[in-house]
Chains A and B, each alone.
Chain A
Amino acid sequence: MELNSILYSLLGGALIGVAVTLMLLFNGRVTGISGILASSLAKPNSESLWRWMFLAGMIVGGFFMYQIRPDLFVNVSGRSLAAVAIAGLLVGYGTVMGSGCTSGHGICGLSRFSVRSLLATITFMFFGFLSVQIVNYFLGGSI
């Protein structure tokens, strides 16, 4: 890995750390993206508007970055549309069942030494690894 790539990853990670810090300091909430998205699907009211605002912020942030660095959004994973569709289904179903994803468990949960989040993070990392290995060794790297 190039030094530049490492520095950008650290910088981006620190920005994410600042974002979840702001959410905690001002609103007293955990920034768990799967939880925010899943709960936003219920009927909106004034108490839940913050979830929509968060999601809008993410989309605007993505739009802004795409305008200045479209190369950061190139998807060369080689995964088929069918695989991506099934993956989305598994991620949606699994994150609600498991009460969180990379942000809620992996960053917020680990920062407060939550045993549940540690176990969840180890589990999704391990099964992610298995998933990639199965595609590589049994399906020749493409699905």
Chain B
Amino acid sequence: MKSNLFKQNAVSFVVGLVFAIGLAVSGMTQPQKIISFLNPSNWDASLLFVMLGALGVHLISYPLIRKRKSPLLETKWHIPTRQDVTARLVLGSALFGIGWGLAGFCPGPALTSLASGDVKSLLFVATMIFGMLLFKKTEAHLKLKE
């Protein structure tokens, strides 16, 4: 099992690498493209085609892979199974959306842009991490069901 853990880590690295290359190739590391996607009066459809490309692959690969009993390097699947719609899901997604439109960054492109040294991506990632920690600190006070 130990060597499998090593292989899993290697796969994770490659997945991160390919994902980041995909984001850059598709133009998603340019925040103005996201802002324009969210603006029909000056529409940039790039994100739509990125989604089509990604979903085009994964809509086919997902059911094929899930026919297997287990993943190649793991004994079990780690796939979310929840079906319940909660206030927390909607409110959290709304807050994310507001921030997304405000900066034109979502987590992936911001992390991919770090190595470019762009000050805005550095700042965004720093406050994003702070926001994540802040949620964990304040979660108990929100009285929102898990």
Contact = CB atoms under 8 A, between A and B. Distances in A.
Bound together:
yes
Interface of A: 1, 5-6, 8-31, 33-34, 37-38, 41, 46-47, 49-51, 53-66, 69-70, 72-79, 81, 83-99, 101-103, 105-112, 114-116, 119-121, 123-133, 135-136, 143
B140 interface: no
Given A33-B108, A61-B24, 17 more contacts: A13-B50, A13-B57, A14-B53, A22-B14, A26-B71, A28-B79, A50-B9, A57-B14, A60-B20, A65-B112, A66-B24, A72-B29, A88-B125, A90-B98, A93-B131, A97-B92, A99-B80
Given A57-B14, A136-B39, A13 B99 contact: no
Main secondary structure of the interface of A (DSSP, over half): helix
B54 A13 contact: yes
A41 B26 contact: no
Contacts of B50: 9-10, 12-13, 16
Contact of B114 (A59, A123, A127): A59
Given A29-B78, A116-B82, A131-B102, A93 B25 contact: no
